[in-house]
Amino acid sequence: MIFIFTQIFVLAIICERLVDIIKELVKDKKINIWKLVSLAICIPLAVIYNGDLLTPINLTTDIAYINNVLTGILISGGSNYIADLIKLLQESYKKIEVEQNDDYK
């Protein structure tokens, strides 16, 4: 059950990140060139190196490269953003393990 909430939580983070990027790209009717540069670097790097933060939590798709592109978008938020996301996922996995261990008792 917690695994499903983890997936929903990650999808919510992705949606929030996409909205934030759109807001940051066109702020005060000006294009933020640094945000655009960040995306232009991070998305291709994630695709080239097959970066995929979504498959480990069973969020897969038949659309080629979509997980890599979404990972690139998440990475463009910087290392603190990714570190926070990974920490939240690790906490969720620990809760899943505890639940599974309780089920076996």
Here the tokens at position 69 are 């592109």
- Per-residue pLDDT band for 83 (boundaries 50, 70, 90) equals confident
Asked if 74 and 100 touch (Cβ cutoff 8 Å), the reply is no
DSSP per-residue letters across 76-101: TT-HHHHHHHHHHHHHHHHHHHHHHH
Number of CB atoms found within 10 A of residue 44's CB = 13
The pLDDT, as a whole number, for residue 96 is 65
**C-alpha span between 24 and 70 (Å, rounded):** 17
1-29 pLDDT per residue, tens: 566 777 888 888 888 888 888 888 888 88
How many CA atoms does the CB half-sphere of 38 hold within 13 Å? 16
Residue 11 DSSP SS3: helix
46-78 pLDDT per residue, tens: 999 999 988 888 888 889 899 999 999 888 888
**C-alpha span between 15 and 5 (Å, rounded):** 15
